Every structure is written in structure tokens, then in C-alpha cells.
Amino acid sequence: MAAKDKFHAVVRIALEKEQWKITDDPLRLEVGGTKFEIDLGAEQLIAAERGEEKIAVEIKTFLSDSPLTDYHAALGQFLNYRLALEVSDSDRILYLAVPISIYEAFFKREFAQTSVERYQIKQIIFDPIQAVIVQWIP
């Protein structure tokens, strides 16, 4: 299985372990004549008075030789997806899912942290071996 598909399957399992119900695989949107496919859509019942929480998750492998180039692409995709969700599904929160090895090696660098903060990139850090979510960064 290609790494991209493997990570997709792993994040799906990791979300299910935390009682998320996968509702869309992929989550399809159409906004302003443009079609989007976000990797996963999921829902979870939270405190009854708050109803259901809905998320969308875009999974990135960062497998090229340049994590910075991969991050440029991930950032632009994330911001365009978030904009599309604002228009078509505004109570769904978008997360970028990133393997723990990349989080440690790239996202802890000073510039990456500045960029993630500036553009308010919510992250799910996952362990691809254990198929668990290590950290939610809201």
C-alpha cells in the first residue's frame, strides 16, 4: 500500500479509537464552481446541549526530500479548504493530520511554529505505527 494510503487508513483508525464516526471518505465540497476533496469528514457526539462536533481532516505524509516544500503545499491546501468550508459547511473544523516524526523534525522549528500560529493551522499529530492520535493542537 502506498504511504499516502497507509497514513489515510491509520488516521481513520486513530479517529475511530477516540469515538469519532467517519461520515465522509473523502469529504466532497463544491464552492464557487470549484470542487474539493478533503481526506476525511468525521462527527462526534459531545455534551448533549452542544450537539455534534464536526471535523474535516486533511492528511499529509511529508515524504518528499523537502519538508518546507511539502509544508508550502499543505498550508495552501489547508487555507483553501478552510475557506471552502467557511462557505459550504461553516460549523465543521478543519485539521491538518501530520505524523509524529515530521512534527518533531519540522514543525518544532522556529519558522514552522511562527507560520502555524500566524495562519492558525489546527493539527492532529498521529503515530503511524500505533495508529493513535498523540496530540490535538487546536
Residues in contact with its own copies by the rule CB under 8 A? 31-34, 68, 71-80, 83-84, 87, 109-115, 118-119
Could you tell me if 27 and 37 are in contact, meaning their C-beta atoms sit under 8 angstroms apart? Answer: yes
Shortest approach of its own copies to residue 28 CB, angstroms? Answer: 14
Gap between the Cα atoms of 116 and 88, Å rounded? 24
Pairing type for strands 123-127 and 27-31 reads: unpaired
Shortest approach of its own copies to residue 122 CB, angstroms? Answer: 16
Shortest approach of its own copies to residue 116 CB, angstroms? Answer: 11
Give me the sign of the Cα torsion angle 93, 94, 99, 100. Answer: negative
Q: Which is nearer to its own copies, 22 or 116 (CB)?
A: 116
Pairing type for strands 123-127 and 92-99 reads: parallel
Could you tell me if 11 and 126 are in contact, meaning their C-beta atoms sit under 8 angstroms apart? Answer: yes
Q: Which is nearer to its own copies, 22 or 75 (CB)?
A: 75
Shortest approach of its own copies to residue 98 CB, angstroms? Answer: 14
Gap between the Cα atoms of 18 and 34, Å rounded? 32
Q: Which is nearer to its own copies, 23 or 115 (CB)?
A: 115
Q: Which is nearer to its own copies, 64 or 130 (CB)?
A: 64
